[in-house]
Structure 1
Amino acid sequence: MATEAELEAPECPVCLQPFDTITTIPRVLACGHSLCDQCLSSLPPPRPSLPDSLRCPSCTQLVPFLRSLGPSSLPKNIDLLRLVSPSPHPSLDRPTKPNSPLSASFLPIPWTQLDLLSSWKNWILPQKALSLASIHEESKLVSLGSPWFCRENQAVSLMPICAPPVSTNSAENEWFRLSYTAHVLEALGALDDEARDDLSFLLEVSSRLRRGICRIYGLWMGPEKEKCQLFLVSERFRQGLGMLREEREADEGLESGEMFRFGIVGKELCEAVLALHSEGIVCGCFGPSCFCFDDYGHCLLDLSKVLVACKKFQEHARFSASSRGEDDPNGSRTQVFVAPEVLVLLCNEDANKDCGFKDSVGYGSDVWSLACILIVFLIGEAQLVAELSEASSCLLQGESTELYNGWKKKVLTKLEVLLIGTQFESLLPIMELCLSYHAESRPQVSDIWRCFQGPLMKTCADDLAASDDFLSKKSSRCCLLFSKFYSSHKETSTVSLREDNNDMSSNISDKYIAGSSRRGNDSLQQVDGELTESLNSGSFKSVTLHGHRDCVTGFAVGGGHLFSSSLDKTINVWSLQDFSHLQSLRGHEHRVMAILATSYAGQPLCISGDSRSGIFIWSITSPPELDPLKKWYEHNDWRYSGVHSLAVSETGYLYSGSGDRSIKAWSLQDYSLLCTMTGHKSTVSSLAIGDGILYSGSWDGTVRLWWLSDHSPLSVLGDDTPEKLAPVLSLSTGTNLVISSYENGFLKIWRNDVLVKSEKVHDGSIYALQIDKQLLFTGGWDKIINIQELSENEAEVEVRSVASITCDSVVTSLLHWHGKLFVGLANKEIKQVYYRGS
Structure 2
Amino acid sequence: MEPPECPVCLQSFDGDCTVPRVLNCGHSACEECLRSLPKKFPDTIRCPACTVLVKFPPQGPSALPKNIDLLRLFPSSSQNSLEPGRNSKKPVEFVTRSWPDDFYAIWKDRILLHDAVSVEGESKGSDFSLSGRLGDDSKVSLLRVASFDHDDCDSVLKYSYVQRMMNCLWDMGEEERDELDTIISVRQRGVSKVFGLWGDLKNGILYLVGEKLGSFSLEEFENLTEDDSLRLAMIGMQICEALLGLHKERVITGCLSVSCVKFDEFENAYVDLIEWMETGRNVHRLIVEETVGAREMGLILVRLLQKGIFVSLEVLFGLLKEDNMLIKDASSKYLVSYSSDVWPVCLLLLKLHLRKRFPEELIESLNCVDAKGCEEGIEDFLVLYTCIADKLSSMIESEPGGKFKPMIEILCQCCSLDPQARPGLTDLWKCIREVVVSPRLSSVIGLKKAISGKGKDYRLVLGELCRLVEVGSKEVEEELPGTENGSDAGESKVDTDFVGRLSKGKMKSKDMRGHQDSVTGLALGGGFLFSCSLDKTILVWSLKDFSHVHTFKGHEDKVMALIHIDGAEPVCVSGDGGGGIFVWSTTFPLAEQPLRKWYEPKDWKYTGIHALAYSEYGHVYSGSGDNTIKAWSLQDGSLVCTMTGHKSVVSTLVVQNGVLYSGSWDGTVRLWSLSDHSFLTVLGEETQGIGRSILSLAADEQTLVAAYQNGDIQIWRDDTLMKSMQVQSGAILSVAVNGKWLFTGGWDKTVNVQELSGDEMSLDCTHVGSIPSSSVITSLLYWEGKLFAAFADKTIKVYYNGR
Q: Structure 2-normalised TM-score?
A: 0.86
Match among 651, 661, 664 for residue 617 of structure 2? 651
Alignment of 1:584-663 (within 5 A): 584-599=551-566, 602-663=568-629
Alignment of 1:365-380 (within 5 A): 365-380=340-355
Tell me if structure 2 keeps the 8 A contact 1:280–1:473.
Answer: no
Would the alpha carbon gap of residues 367 and 306 (structure 1) be closer, same or farther in structure 2, given more than 3 Å must change? same
SS of 2:118's partner is: coil
Matched with 2:53 is 62
Would the alpha carbon gap of residues 725 and 568 (structure 1) be closer, same or farther in structure 2, given more than 3 Å must change? same
For 1:685 and 1:677, the matched residues in 2 are separated by 14
Please state how far the C-alpha of 1:812 moved relative to its aligned partner.
1.2
Matched with 1:328 is 300
- Superposed CA deviations along residues 564-597 of structure 1, whole A, max 9, x for unmatched, are 0111111111122332212111122111111111
Matched pairs, number: 773
Alignment of 1:202-217 (within 5 A): 202-204=183-185, 206=186, 209-217=187-195
Please state how far the C-alpha of 1:313 moved relative to its aligned partner.
0.7
State yes or no: 1:192 paired with 2:185.
Answer: no
Match among 91, 115, 138 for residue 128 of structure 1? 115
For 1:799 and 1:307, the matched residues in 2 are separated by 36
For 1:590 and 1:34, the matched residues in 2 are separated by 44
State yes or no: 1:28 paired with 2:28.
Answer: no
Please state how far the C-alpha of 1:629 moved relative to its aligned partner.
2.7
Match among 294, 302, 312 for residue 339 of structure 1? 312
Q: Which amino acid aligns with 1:450?
A: K
Alignment of 1:133-144 (within 5 A): 137-139=123-125, 141-144=127-130
For 1:625 and 1:462, the matched residues in 2 are separated by 99
Alignment of 1:442-591 (within 5 A): 442-458=422-438, 466-468=446-448, 470-471=450-451, 477-485=457-465, 507-508=487-488, 531-532=501-502, 534-535=504-505, 539-591=506-558
Q: Which amino acid aligns with 2:336?
A: V
For 1:56 and 1:550, the matched residues in 2 are separated by 48
RMSD of aligned alpha carbons: 4.0
State yes or no: 1:53 paired with 2:23.
Answer: no
Tell me if structure 2 keeps the 8 A contact 1:162–1:229.
Answer: yes
Please state how far the C-alpha of 1:830 moved relative to its aligned partner.
0.8
For 2:662 and 2:442, the matched residues in 1 are separated by 66
Would the alpha carbon gap of residues 802 and 281 (structure 1) be closer, same or farther in structure 2, given more than 3 Å must change? same
Alignment of 1:2-17 (within 5 A): 14=7
SS of 1:603's partner is: coil
Please state how far the C-alpha of 1:647 moved relative to its aligned partner.
2.0
Matched with 1:118 is 105
For 2:718 and 2:272, the matched residues in 1 are separated by 48
- Superposed CA deviations along residues 443-477 of structure 1, whole A, max 9, x for unmatched, are 11111111232344449979996412644667761
For 1:390 and 1:50, the matched residues in 2 are separated by 92
Q: Which amino acid aligns with 2:422?
A: R
Alignment of 1:662-811 (within 5 A): 662-709=628-675, 710-717=677-684, 719-720=686-687, 725-811=691-777
Please state how far the C-alpha of 1:48 moved relative to its aligned partner.
4.3
Please state how far the C-alpha of 1:389 moved relative to its aligned partner.
6.0
For 2:87 and 2:423, the matched residues in 1 are separated by 57
Alignment of 1:82-93 (within 5 A): 84=73
Would the alpha carbon gap of residues 54 and 97 (structure 1) be closer, same or farther in structure 2, given more than 3 Å must change? closer
State yes or no: 1:429 paired with 2:409.
Answer: yes
Match among 172, 183, 201 for residue 182 of structure 2? 201
Match among 263, 271, 274 for residue 293 of structure 1? 263
Q: Which amino acid aligns with 1:117?
A: Y
For 1:751 and 1:806, the matched residues in 2 are separated by 29
Structure 1: segments with no counterpart, 5+ residues: 1-7, 90-95, 490-494, 513-528
Please state how far the C-alpha of 1:500 moved relative to its aligned partner.
7.8
State yes or no: 1:221 paired with 2:199.
Answer: yes
Tell me if structure 1 keeps the 8 A contact 2:752–2:770.
Answer: yes
Please state how far the C-alpha of 1:334 moved relative to its aligned partner.
4.5
Would the alpha carbon gap of residues 651 and 336 (structure 1) be closer, same or farther in structure 2, given more than 3 Å must change? farther
Would the alpha carbon gap of residues 98 and 568 (structure 1) be closer, same or farther in structure 2, given more than 3 Å must change? closer
Would the alpha carbon gap of residues 786 and 257 (structure 1) be closer, same or farther in structure 2, given more than 3 Å must change? same
For 1:358 and 1:628, the matched residues in 2 are separated by 89
State yes or no: 1:161 paired with 2:128.
Answer: no
Matched with 1:526 is none
Matched with 2:363 is 386
Please state how far the C-alpha of 1:14 moved relative to its aligned partner.
5.0
For 1:508 and 1:648, the matched residues in 2 are separated by 66
Please state how far the C-alpha of 1:804 moved relative to its aligned partner.
2.2
For 1:771 and 1:570, the matched residues in 2 are separated by 27
Please state how far the C-alpha of 1:828 moved relative to its aligned partner.
0.4
For 1:498 and 1:796, the matched residues in 2 are separated by 50
Tell me if structure 1 keeps the 8 A contact 2:117–2:128.
Answer: yes
For 2:381 and 2:784, the matched residues in 1 are separated by 72
Please state how far the C-alpha of 1:739 moved relative to its aligned partner.
1.6
Please state how far the C-alpha of 1:616 moved relative to its aligned partner.
2.2
Tell me if structure 2 keeps the 8 A contact 1:339–1:365.
Answer: yes
State yes or no: 1:256 paired with 2:226.
Answer: yes
- Superposed CA deviations along residues 620-665 of structure 1, whole A, max 9, x for unmatched, are 2213333223333324422232211222233333322222222233
For 2:100 and 2:592, the matched residues in 1 are separated by 48
Tell me if structure 2 keeps the 8 A contact 1:645–1:686.
Answer: yes
Would the alpha carbon gap of residues 428 and 333 (structure 1) be closer, same or farther in structure 2, given more than 3 Å must change? closer
Match among 151, 155, 166 for residue 135 of structure 2? 151
For 1:775 and 1:821, the matched residues in 2 are separated by 11
Tell me if structure 2 keeps the 8 A contact 1:645–1:657.
Answer: yes
Tell me if structure 2 keeps the 8 A contact 1:27–1:35.
Answer: yes
Structure 2: segments with no counterpart, 5+ residues: 77-82, 493-498
Match among 243, 250, 257 for residue 280 of structure 1? 250
Would the alpha carbon gap of residues 649 and 270 (structure 1) be closer, same or farther in structure 2, given more than 3 Å must change? same
Tell me if structure 2 keeps the 8 A contact 1:746–1:759.
Answer: yes
For 2:717 and 2:660, the matched residues in 1 are separated by 15
For 2:407 and 2:88, the matched residues in 1 are separated by 63
Bigger drift between 500-509 and 662-671 goes to 500-509
- Could you say which structure has the greater relative contact order, defined with CA pairs below 8 angstroms and 6 or more residues apart? 1
Tell me if structure 1 keeps the 8 A contact 2:670–2:680.
Answer: yes
Matched with 2:496 is none
Would the alpha carbon gap of residues 784 and 462 (structure 1) be closer, same or farther in structure 2, given more than 3 Å must change? farther
For 1:714 and 1:358, the matched residues in 2 are separated by 77
- Superposed CA deviations along residues 749-794 of structure 1, whole A, max 9, x for unmatched, are 2334444323322222222210111111112222221222111224
For 1:358 and 1:802, the matched residues in 2 are separated by 51
SS of 1:337's partner is: strand
SS of 1:320's partner is: coil
Would the alpha carbon gap of residues 704 and 638 (structure 1) be closer, same or farther in structure 2, given more than 3 Å must change? same
Matched with 1:519 is none
For 2:590 and 2:440, the matched residues in 1 are separated by 91
SS of 1:645's partner is: strand
Tell me if structure 2 keeps the 8 A contact 1:132–1:222.
Answer: no
Please state how far the C-alpha of 1:703 moved relative to its aligned partner.
3.0
Tell me if structure 2 keeps the 8 A contact 1:280–1:478.
Answer: yes
Please state how far the C-alpha of 1:733 moved relative to its aligned partner.
2.0
Tell me if structure 1 keeps the 8 A contact 2:18–2:30.
Answer: yes
Tell me if structure 2 keeps the 8 A contact 1:684–1:696.
Answer: yes
Tell me if structure 1 keeps the 8 A contact 2:518–2:792.
Answer: yes
SS of 1:582's partner is: strand
Q: Structure 1-normalised TM-score?
A: 0.82
Match among 65, 69, 72 for residue 75 of structure 1? 65
Please state how far the C-alpha of 1:22 moved relative to its aligned partner.
7.4
- Superposed CA deviations along residues 200-231 of structure 1, whole A, max 9, x for unmatched, are 23323x2xx2421111111111114x1x2211
Match among 9, 14, 30 for residue 37 of structure 1? 30
